[in-house]
Amino acid sequence: FSSFRFDIYRKVPKDLTQPTYTGAIISVCCCLFILFLFLSELTGFIATEIVNELYVDDPDKDSGGKIEVNLNISLPNLHCELVGLDIQDEMGRHEVGHIDNSMKIPLNNGDGCRFEGHFSINKVPGNFHVSTHSATAQPQNPDMTHVIHKLSFGDKLQVHNVHGAFNALEGADKLSSNPLASHDYILKIVPTVYEDMSGKQRYSYQYTVANKEYVAYSHTGRIIPAIWFRYDLSPITVKYTERRQPLYRFITSV
């Protein structure tokens, strides 16, 4: 028995310390591989991970039961004085010719109109529609062919890693449809929460859409077309959370 056997810093025989070309190549390859692994771990540590989850709740309780709506639509064959926005819902709201925070831009030398509106709706099933209902004199043959540039709800999320249906109707083109036809867009709105690294939350809404086209007659037999957006809210909330790999995990991996 000898205490020398406990020496963990033993001398290496001289024949094992002689450099060779093969050893140099292996050493360089190992160093490059180690550097690659380190950079990979560093990239993973710096990068932000987006984690999503689903739950049943009303996320934006401070909104007062309201949802902000942004609508931008062009009707190239309908005069601006005939275009109006009407809002209805199951809480009894019935507003014809909503004009707050809205703008009408003439198109095609005044023959058409681009309607841009920013308004709020209640968090209950309802609809808003673009029509001639608020016009002082109803046109004989209103042309409801249109292009939807934007329809979004809530805050705008400019996040590259989140791909969702926040503006699902963007680019919807109905210019070749029947001019006297009404259009129904049935929306299912899904509340969406985005929480960044600082803990700040932004509230937006995604939606799915189905549409149909038909000719509607009034009780007098006249055709009064409109562009309807009928909406209902999903009880499911989608939450996106920014996360980063913990420092201890990065150190352990390195």
> Which residue stretches of the chain have pLDDT < 50?
none
Residue 119 lies in a domain: yes
Query: What's the number of domains the chain is made of?
Result: 1
Residue 129 lies in a domain: yes
Tell me the two tokens of residue 212: 């149909």
Separation between Cα atoms, residue 243 and residue 195, nearest integer Å: 9
Residue 1: per-residue pLDDT: 64
Q: Which amino acid, one-letter code, is at 196?
A: D
Neighbours of 224 (CB within 10 A): 17
Residue 21 lies in a domain: no
pTM: 0.78
Residue 242: per-residue pLDDT: 87
Residue 85: per-residue pLDDT: 95
Q: Are 110 and 156 in contact (CB under 8 A)?
A: no
Model pLDDT for residues 62-93, shown as the tens digit of each residue: 778 899 999 999 999 999 999 999 999 999 99
User: Tokens 């809480």 map to which residue?
Assistant: 91
- Quote the Cα angle for 149-130-219, to 5°: 150
Residue 94 lies in a domain: yes
Residue 97 lies in a domain: yes
Residue 123 lies in a domain: yes
Instruction: Print the domain residue range for 93.
Output: 55-241
User: Tokens 């024949």 map to which residue?
Assistant: 15
Residue 11 lies in a domain: no
Strand, coil or helix: what is 253?
Answer: helix
Q: Are 106 and 123 in contact (CB under 8 A)?
A: no
Residue 27 lies in a domain: no
Is 136 exposed, middle or buried, given 0-12, 13-18 or 19+ CB atoms closer than 10 A? Answer: exposed
Q: Can you say whether residue 160 is alpha, beta or left, with left for phi > 0 and alpha for psi between -120 and 50 degrees?
A: alpha
